[in-house]
Amino acid sequence: MIDLNFDELTERIKYLRENKKNDEKIIDMREISISDMDLSGMDLSKIDFSWSDFVNVKFIETNFEDSVLGNTMCKGIDFSGSNFRGANLENGDFRNSNLSNTNCDETVFTGALLEGANLENLIYTDKTIHFKMSCPETGYFFGYKKCFNDRLVKLLIPKDAKRCSGTTNACRCDKAKTVSITNLDGTGFYREATSFVDGEFSYRLGEYSYADEFNDDRWLESTHGIHFWMSKEEALAYM
């Protein structure tokens, strides 16, 4: 990882832009480390910042359109009012960062960490990926999970169940009814299945299961609740 001061950063961006080949849509600024600087209002569009570290940097009203901040460390950074349209934030660490009033149309949030982030007035659309919940916010629906001994459990999540998901397709709820237990190819049928995570927790055919607790913070994926997927394929691919 390369440490850059303000002059080195701006000069490198200028040089790469001026010497960009015609077929290059984005310039390479991967694996850099910048700290203790104010880059507010700058045009940082179409730049790949993957696997970089930002420490005590201000990005207020900064343009990140079509940029990549995948796997970047951005904890506690002020991005308020910035433009992330078309940007890829996949697996980036934005915990406790300020993303208020940002434009996130067509932004990819898949796997991004948003715990404690300020998301007030964040603008997102149907083209924003993995910001809206993956499970229905109202009504009943079915979910799936894989348990010990290659057993596939189909769950009915009722209308009154609490439910949430973060920036992946993994979902949680506070209660669910087991409506079927089969082997992975659907040819065998069972009356009970044991959870991978808690060997004392079993799903029994026709019965409701209840989480010991349910954390309402949707951005905390590894926390209390009954974990499930929205499709059989995703459940079977897990672990």
Same domain, 126 and 185: no
Same domain, 59 and 122: yes
What's the pLDDT band for 239 if we cut at 50, 70, 90?
A: low
Q: What is the CB neighbour count within 10 angstroms for residue 135?
A: 18
| Mean of pLDDT over the chain | 94
Last residue of a domain, one of 82, 101, 132: 132
Q: What is the pLDDT of residues 11-27, one digit of tens each?
A: 999 999 988 887 788 99
pLDDT of residue 207: 95
pLDDT of residue 222: 81
Q: What is the pLDDT of residues 137-185, one digit of tens each?
A: 999 999 999 998 889 999 999 999 999 999 999 999 999 999 999 988 8
Same domain, 62 and 87: yes
CA–CA dist 107, 166 (Å, integer): 15
Same domain, 69 and 125: yes
Mean pLDDT throughout 211-230?
Answer: 90
Termini Cα distance of the chain: 32
CA–CA dist 93, 148 (Å, integer): 32
Same domain, 106 and 195: no
Same domain, 110 and 197: no
Beta strands in 41-102 (DSSP E): 47-48, 53-58
Last residue of a domain, one of 105, 132, 159: 132
Same domain, 191 and 113: no
CA–CA dist 211, 232 (Å, integer): 21
Structural domain harbouring 12: 1-132
Same domain, 113 and 147: no
pLDDT of residue 74: 95
The tally of domains found in the chain comes to 2
pLDDT at residue 98 tops 70: yes
